[in-house]
Chains A and B, each alone.
Chain A
Amino acid sequence: MPAKDWTYVMDEAALPEGKMTPVYPSGVNVLMARVGGAVYALEGKCAHMGCPLFNGMLEGVILTCPCHDWRFNIRTGEFIDAPELRLKMYQTRTEDGKLFVSLGQMEGL
């Protein structure tokens, strides 16, 4: 992937285990989350009615939207009750303690 596709979003240390933070690379609403040591970057708005997900609840890999309790798997972006619906997933990269996101969607998702 060309280097220009990667956008710095936050310092790695600012994202502790089990936490979520919204970031806005190029104005895009992206939700950063760390679970089991892995960092995930997802679309920050719910697939239902666009509610901001950073205020939701993260339990393991299940993210629950604060508005109407729609639940998503943050590893795949899938909506638990209907996997045909999903949140976009973005690639992440860590370099020198900094987190980068590529806004090109991940392949296969």
Chain B
Amino acid sequence: MSVESRKKALHYFFDKVVGPLGYKFTPDSDLMDFLLEQEVMLEQKHGIPFCPCQPLRHDRSRDMQIVCPCIPFHRKHFDAIRRCWCGLFVHKDVTDPDSLPQIPPWEVGLD
């Protein structure tokens, strides 16, 4: 499968997951395209589309919490910053993703 086809496939799968959680793909189409491409590359390397911006620890239980979309496992944090860490997904009401900085959990009062 080509990279472009796989990007479309991931988009199809993830769209169905993030909608019920209150999220959507970022309206920044260049960012979306870049992140999906990185995930396809990560999937080709590891067999799994991990988050391109979080570390693999080589510990299955923890690594499975950064498989895209990882929103369910970081819900409080992402709900507080209205985006996921890499920015592939934003809250449904977000129209200007550039206005949402990457803020670590402790800066929004979480552990």
Residues of chain A from 31 to 85 with CB closer than 8 A to chain B in the complex:
47-50, 67-69, 79, 81-82, 84-85
Size class of the B contact interface (CB-based, 8 Å):
10 to 19
Q: Which B residues are CB-close (under 8 A) to A68?
A: 48, 64, 67
Identify which of A48, A49, A81, A85 contacts B20 (C-beta below 8 A): A85
Cα distance, A68 to B17, chains bound together (Å): 14
Cα distance, A52 to B79, chains bound together (Å): 30
Residues of chain B from 1 to 41 with CB closer than 8 A to chain A in the complex:
13, 16-17, 20-21
Decide if B21 touches A85 in the complex (CB within 8 Å).
yes
Complex: chain B residue closest to A84, CB-CB: B20
Decide if A82 touches B67 in the complex (CB within 8 Å).
no
Decide if A81 touches B13 in the complex (CB within 8 Å).
no
Cα distance, A103 to B96, chains bound together (Å): 43
Decide if A48 touches B17 in the complex (CB within 8 Å).
yes
Decide if A49 touches B21 in the complex (CB within 8 Å).
no
Cα distance, A81 to B73, chains bound together (Å): 7
Cα distance, A48 to B17, chains bound together (Å): 6
Interface residues of A (CB under 8 A from B): 47-50, 67-69, 79, 81-82, 84-85
Q: List 16 A-B contacts (CB under 8 A).
A: A47-B16, A48-B67, A50-B13, A67-B48, A68-B48, A68-B64, A69-B60, A69-B61, A69-B64, A79-B72, A82-B20, A82-B71, A82-B75, A84-B21, A85-B17, A85-B21
Q: Which 4 A-B pairs have the closest CB atoms?
A: A82-B72, A81-B72, A84-B20, A69-B64
